[in-house]
């Protein structure tokens, strides 16, 4: 096809040259015609191949450019269209009345005999309920869902309560995703730090467990809550988190647990997002800030916890973490607290490992271990204790971690070993090392105290 077109152009050129001598037009007229012909043939060449392939007519457009900042009208159009789309998706979800009707239908079609006082339903009845429940419920009444919930019932039935909880969970996830998407300003499926701050700030009035918080503390509470999301879900510090990742983790469950007006004191204390927990963390920060300038110096941070973190480790904290004139702000302090309070978690181990990896090699060799443990030995001398041999500790660390390379330990080795929290505690915290060194005595004491409690009348 391309060869035919080339031959066609050659013929035209020959005819053009042959008739040029007989042409009585002016130069301007000739140039105008030449431009017209060039434009015509160039356009045909540019899109002619696409036009002859039928597949181009069926391939849908898959890329739409995002409007620029100065394209206000396009931005508004995009925002409105997204809002309409989310409203439509919201209307497709089951409301409370529809959920209640679904429960009545399921209860009406339960199949005897009951197992452990739990109502059961067979696959045949399951399909009947699906037909009566309406179009919104159709996606829940599939063989795949039924098979997921099928366990060891001898009659091949599933629990009505388990199925209903499954539906409730799915509806909640979709509702929450829509709610989070309303704060996704870019419309790209992720939330920036400011987006998540707005979401949590507007969520506070709906959480009864936070009723006692003063409005002046809201900004500190929001900062405390948002930091946990970004510390664990944004390890590369991109400044944004996928909405899917937020839904997949348990943090949102912990946050929305504060809707329960009768939440126990123990649950509140263990929940990072509760008012007592947020006030505890902020109160600790204020107590450490002896000069009341709103920032923490290295000397002030050294009193954190039991005050037994080594000076070598704290030096690394202030070398690697974001500081302002050598002092740490509240947001950086929150990362520090989250790392030390969750040492078993990969994100926390990554934080601490970066501080231990002085040469940025991605691994810890014997020199690095000795460098940090020497500070532990110095603290032991100060407290009148006999320093433990580094060789013994080094051997124990390598035995615990069992790294792929017998001469160095990587972050992945620490995570895979399940002993990362113990190893890091040995290297950075005298109290952590003492706990490890006396673990057998502590276990024996716990056993004795438990036995004594059982013997009490």
pLDDT digits (tens, 9 = 90+) for 164-196: 999 999 999 999 999 999 999 888 899 999 999
Mean pLDDT value across residues 96-102: 93
- With CA atoms as reference, report the closest residue to 316 among 279, 352, 365, 278: 352
Residue 220 in this model has a pLDDT that exceeds 90: yes
CA distance 238 to 168: 33
- With CA atoms as reference, report the closest residue to 106 among 81, 140, 144: 140
**pTM confidence score:** 0.78
Q: Which pLDDT value is given to residue 187? A: 84
Does residue 263 lie within any of the structural domains? Answer: yes
Mean pLDDT value across residues 304-308: 91
Q: Which domain holds residue 202?
A: 189-278
Q: Which pLDDT value is given to residue 191? A: 95
Q: Which pLDDT value is given to residue 358? A: 93
Q: Which pLDDT value is given to residue 42? A: 80
Residue 321 in this model has a pLDDT that exceeds 60: yes
Total domains present in the chain = 4
Name the burial class of residue 26, with classes exposed (0-12), middle (13-18) and buried (19+) by CB atoms within 10 angstroms of its CB. exposed
Domain shared by 432 and 294, yes or no = yes
Does residue 242 lie within any of the structural domains? Answer: yes
CA distance 47 to 307: 73
Q: Show which of 253, 278, 303 is a domain's final residue.
A: 278
Domain shared by 320 and 380, yes or no = yes
Residue 91 in this model has a pLDDT that exceeds 90: yes
Residue with tokens 């950086």: 332
Confidence of residue 446 (pLDDT cuts 50, 70, 90): low
Q: Which pLDDT value is given to residue 43? A: 80
Confidence of residue 106 (pLDDT cuts 50, 70, 90): very high
Mean pLDDT value across residues 326-331: 94
Q: Which pLDDT value is given to residue 437? A: 86
Contact 324, 311 (CB under 8 A): no
Domain shared by 23 and 51, yes or no = yes
Domain shared by 166 and 230, yes or no = no
**Residue 151 contacts by C-beta under 8 Å, 6 or more apart in sequence?**
158
The CATH number assigned to the domain holding 112 equals 1.10.238
Confidence of residue 20 (pLDDT cuts 50, 70, 90): low
């Amino acid at each position: 096809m391309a060869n035919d077109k080339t031959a066609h152009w050659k013929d035209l050129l020959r005819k053009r040259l042959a008739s040029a001598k007989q042409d009585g037009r002016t130069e301007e007229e000739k140039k105008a015609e030449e431009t017209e012909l060039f434009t015509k043939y160039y356009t045909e060449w540019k899109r002619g191949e696409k036009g002859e392939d039928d597949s181009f007519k069926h391939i849908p457009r898959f890329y739409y450019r995002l409007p620029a900042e100065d394209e206000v009208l396009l931005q508004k159009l995009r925002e409105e269209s997204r809002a309409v789309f989310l409203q439509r998706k919201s209307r497709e979800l089951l409301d409370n009345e529809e959920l209640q009707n679904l429960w009545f239908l399921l209860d009406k079609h339960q199949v005897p005999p009951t197992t452990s006082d739990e109502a059961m339903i067979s696959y045949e009845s399951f399909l009947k309920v699906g037909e009566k429940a309406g179009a919104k419920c159709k996606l829940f009444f599939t063989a795949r869902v039924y098979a997921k919930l099928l366990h060891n019932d001898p009659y091949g039935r599933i629990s009505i309560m388990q199925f209903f909880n499954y539906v409730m969970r799915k509806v909640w996830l979709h509702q929450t995703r829509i709610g989070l998407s309303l704060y996704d300003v870019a419309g790209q499926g992720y939330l920036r730090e400011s987006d998540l701050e707005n979401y949590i700030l507007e969520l506070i009035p709906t959480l009864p467990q936070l009723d006692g918080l003063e409005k002046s503390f809201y900004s500190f509470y929001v900062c405390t809550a948002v930091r946990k999301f970004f510390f664990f879900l944004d390890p590369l510090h991109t400044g944004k988190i996928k909405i899917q990742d937020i839904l997949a983790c348990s943090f949102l469950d912990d946050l929305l647990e504060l809707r329960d007006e009768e939440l126990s004191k123990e649950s509140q204390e263990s929940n990072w997002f509760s008012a007592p927990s947020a006030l505890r963390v902020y109160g600790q920060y204020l107590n450490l800030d002896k000069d009341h300038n709103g920032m923490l110096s290295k000397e002030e941070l050294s009193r954190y916890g039991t005050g037994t973190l080594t000076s070598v480790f704290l030096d690394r904290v202030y070398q690697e973490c974001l500081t302002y004139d050598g002092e740490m702000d509240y947001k950086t302090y929150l990362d520090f607290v989250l790392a030390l309070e969750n040492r078993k978690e990969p994100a926390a181990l990554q934080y601490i490992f970066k501080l231990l990896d002085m040469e940025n090699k991605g691994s810890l060799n014997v020199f690095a271990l000795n460098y940090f443990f020497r500070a532990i030995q110095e603290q032991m001398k100060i407290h009148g204790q006999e320093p433990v041999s580094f060789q013994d500790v080094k051997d124990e660390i390598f035995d615990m971690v069992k790294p792929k390379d017998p001469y160095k330990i990587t972050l992945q080795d620490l995570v895979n070993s399940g002993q990362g929290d113990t190893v890091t505690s040995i290297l950075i915290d005298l109290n952590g090392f003492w706990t490890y060194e006396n673990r057998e005595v502590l276990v024996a004491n716990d056993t004795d105290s438990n036995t004594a409690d059982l013997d009490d009348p």
